């Protein structure tokens, strides 16, 4: 092993941990190395973002093959624990094939998250599949540099005809990457793609929508909420393209009101309701979520199920306190709208706010609204969003359902 490693060193440069760095965590599966944990000499700082290197501990023992970005706070990401691995088309196909076989075992139709970054062994790389179309989010420099190779492997293995690069979002900025959306393979869809899920039809704008066009992560939570809604009135706040509302209508809800600040998202929600034969039971209301919740209370509205699924209020540790206050405020404004014996579902996609902190903020808000209730379910992302146990960020989604 050591002899082979020595021979390989001529092909990849080496980077080394500082003596103070937590080598044990990396050996035990933590996939990131921060810039302040590396020997940042001139040679390391000069490495091209997205290039590959062999990571050594402070005693110069090899730990694995990493991708390097000296311009990022996450200066190295583990690609392969074998320092002699070769990151090429064959390596990519092996990773994709493993992920594909797992998703195909989970779902009858090809609509799912195919690659969930570090948890699927492709750090910083997200791929969502919409039938014949795949949307790639390369949020790390190496994946951006290898986007064409990833697209070719998707066409070969998954049989998709179109691959779209969606290079938008805060994470790319942190990696020093520009924002862009472009075709990698095939032709652009002529309109939104209908996605069947939980008995409803969602319309995904894969070229211009938010993130990849649809959030697959809430699938099991949509399904549970739908079980609470037969015959009832549903309020879905921060609804995007109709997430909880359309699932509830498919489950037999009498009516659903979707609230969002985005007119294009609400238009897609309306198309989904029309496609599913639910338009007569579906309504939308555009506006700020906080203001709309307060207005609905003033109007005396009450619902059997209220769902609030906001964007990440606490996307970083620096934003944690403000984010928790925002979650508390949402709960305080939403709770009065729930009928006696009804249900309130509150969601967080903030990895910086753990489940305990999120639950405490929500419960405080409900209490400040003069309501009380028991938690009947705690939900997480679906199984196409696996969690790497060593990386809390991969398990970002949390939902709480209260009976008030």
Q: Give the residue numbers annotated as catalytic, written as ranges.
A: 349
Q: Side-chain half-sphere of 18: how many Cα atoms within 13 Å?
A: 12
The CA distance from 189 to 191, in Å, is 5
Residue that is written with structure tokens 């753990």 in the block:
354
What is the SS3 assignment for 129?
strand
Report the largest interatomic distance among the alpha carbons of the chain, rounded to a whole angstrom: 76
Sheet (strand 125-130) strand order: 111-116, 125-130, 133-138, 162-167, 180-185
Q: How distant, in Å, are the alpha carbons of 258, 333, 366 from that of 360? A: 26, 16, 10
User: Among 154, 13, 50, 49, which Cα is nearest to 92's?
Assistant: 154
The CA distance from 75 to 140, in Å, is 11
Give 110-122 as a 3 state SS string. CEEEEEEHHHHCC
């Amino acid at each position: 092993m050591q002899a082979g490693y020595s021979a390989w060193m001529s092909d990849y440069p080496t980077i080394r941990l500082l003596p103070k760095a937590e080598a044990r965590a990396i050996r035990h599966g933590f996939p990131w190395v921060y810039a302040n944990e590396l020997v940042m000499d001139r040679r390391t700082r000069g490495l091209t973002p997205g290039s590959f290197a062999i990571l050594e501990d402070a005693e110069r023992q090899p730990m694995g093959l990493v991708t390097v970005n000296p311009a990022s706070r996450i200066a190295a990401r583990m690609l392969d624990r074998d320092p002699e691995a070769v990151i090429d088309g064959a390596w990519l196909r092996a990773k994709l094939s493993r992920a594909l076989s797992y998703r195909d075992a989970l779902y009858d139709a090809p609509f799912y998250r195919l690659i969930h970054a570090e948890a699927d062994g492709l750090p910083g790389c997200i791929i969502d599949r919409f039938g014949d179309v795949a949307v790639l989010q390369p949020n790390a420099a190496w994946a951006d540099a290898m986007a064409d190779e990833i697209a070719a492997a998707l066409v070969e293995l998954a049989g998709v005809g179109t691959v779209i690069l969606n290079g938008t979002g805060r994470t790319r900025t942190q990696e020093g990457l520009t924002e862009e959306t472009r075709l990698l393979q095939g032709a652009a869809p002529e309109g939104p793609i209908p996605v069947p899920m939980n008995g409803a039809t969602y319309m995904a704008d894969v070229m211009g929508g938010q993130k990849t066009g649809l959030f697959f992560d809430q699938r099991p939570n949509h399904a549970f909420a739908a079980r609470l809604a037969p015959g009832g009135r549903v309020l879905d706040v921060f609804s995007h393209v109709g997430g909880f509302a359309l699932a509830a209508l498919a489950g037999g809800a009498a009516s659903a009101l979707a609230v969002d600040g985005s007119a294009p998202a609400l238009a897609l929600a309306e198309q989904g309701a029309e496609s599913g034969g639910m338009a007569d039971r579906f309504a939308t209301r555009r506006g700020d979520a906080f203001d709309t919740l307060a207005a609905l209370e003033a109007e005396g509205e009450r619902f059997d199920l209220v769902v609030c699924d906001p964007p990440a209020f606490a996307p970083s540790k620096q934003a944690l306190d403000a984010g928790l206050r925002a979650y508390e405020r949402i709960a305080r404004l939403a709770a009065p709208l729930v009928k006696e014996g009804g249900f309130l579902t509150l969601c967080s996609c903030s990895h910086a706010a753990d489940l305990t902190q999120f639950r405490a903020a929500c419960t405080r808000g409900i209490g400040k609204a003069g309501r009380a209730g028991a938690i009947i379910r705690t939900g997480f992302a679906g199984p196409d969003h696996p969690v790497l146990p060593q990386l809390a960020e991969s398990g970002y989604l949390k939902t709480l359902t209260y009976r008030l």
